[in-house]
Amino acid sequence: MPREPGRKEKSNHYFDDWIIRKLMIYIGCHLSVTNGYEAMGRQMTEFGGSTFAWFTRNPRGGKAKDIEASDVEKLQAILEKEKFGTLVAHASYTMNFCSAKPETRANGLDMLKQDLQRMEQVPNQYYNFHPGSHTGQGAEVGIQQIADGLNQSLWADMNTTVLLETMAGKGSEVGKTFEELREIIDRVELNEKLGVCLDTCHIWDGGYDIVNDFDGVLTQFDKVIGLDRLKAIHFNDSKNECGAAKDRHEKLGQGFIGMEAMKRIAQHPVTQNLPFILETPNDDAGYIEEIATVKSWF
């Protein structure tokens, strides 16, 4: 029987079932929402990208910017015309509903509920958040509080998928292992609304060797969480060695992960068609260059 066009030959590789007819990812970076949603779409088109991220409010907290329906409609037209992938909104860094301080937990939960209601105005996109830091309560308590917060905030017909981000293990961060993320997911009633955003710097700093054994890391992710939950990639090099637990992003190819490993990650059959968000320490020109570099791999 002749080989189907675009189909890989049979082997014993773990990822044989991930048949990719065309290598393709969506690539972009964080943009400012200051000038509105249409402006972000136009800016990313000028950057040469095909997805982007934005903070739903100031990264350090504060009131969220009002959303105008006409502005979002103009963005939607750009997304359709330019064939963008799914966008990845990012919660404030200060949102922490597993803190030992009740007022911090309450404030974080309010942020989550408000953000998810507002995301309905930018439909069918992703909302990514850092699970939080247990601040001395212990990971088990933190995991339960995160799940409780999600159970209070998700609803059956919402059109946003909420992404738990993999963390580096700095301080008392929850979500530094796939097992901790799985524990959160299992305790959420509407967990079909949940996915995972894999941050390359974070998991490297957290001890997952994506340079020498990315297949092995993905195999572990699949067995613990399930590859169907992998929805987005934060695409960053790292200033640190594997397992440093420090979370210090670096430009592509200039850190300990290195360009060849970044390229392998981007071209892996499992990561195709996912939004890749650059969070490297760059200005606009740097992001334009990195977007062009990643696109040159396809």
Q: Which residues contact 162 (CB under 8 A, 6 or more apart)?
A: 116, 126, 127, 128, 129, 150, 154, 193, 194, 195
Domain membership of residue 3 (yes or no) is no
Q: What is the pLDDT of residue 7?
A: 34
Q: What is the pLDDT of residue 19?
A: 64
Q: What is the pLDDT of residue 23?
A: 83
Query: In whole angstroms, what is the distance from residue 243 CA to residue 245 CA?
Result: 6
On the 0-12 / 13-18 / 19+ scale of CB atoms within 10 A, 159 is exposed
Domain membership of residue 5 (yes or no) is no
Domain membership of residue 229 (yes or no) is yes
Q: Any bridge partners for residue 234, and if so which?
A: 199, 277
DSSP 168: -
Phi, psi of 128 (to 5 degrees): -100, 140
Amino acid at 166: T
> How many residues would you count in the chain?
298
Q: What is the pLDDT of residue 164?
A: 99
Buried b (16+ CB within 10 A) or exposed e, 21-47: eeeebbbbbbbebeebbbbbbbbbbeb
Q: Which residues contact 280 (CB under 8 A, 6 or more apart)?
A: 29, 235, 236, 237, 249, 250, 251, 252, 286, 287, 290
Q: Any bridge partners for residue 133, and if so which?
A: 173
Structural domain count, the chain: 1
Known binding-site positions: 90, 130, 165, 199, 202, 234, 247, 249, 279
Domain membership of residue 244 (yes or no) is yes
pTM for this one? 0.92
Q: What is the pLDDT of residue 18?
A: 66
Q: What is the mean pLDDT of each run of 10 residues along the chain (298 residues)?
A: 34 60 90 97 99 90 85 98 98 93 95 96 97 94 97 98 97 95 98 99 98 98 98 99 96 99 98 98 99 98
Helix H segments across 200-258?
200-205, 214-224
CATH number at residue 185: 3.20.20.150
Domain membership of residue 63 (yes or no) is yes
Known binding-site positions for Zn(2+): 90, 130, 165, 199, 202, 234, 247, 249, 279
Owning domain of residue 208: 26-295
250 three-state secondary structure: strand
Query: In whole angstroms, what is the distance from residue 35 CA to residue 58 CA?
Result: 14
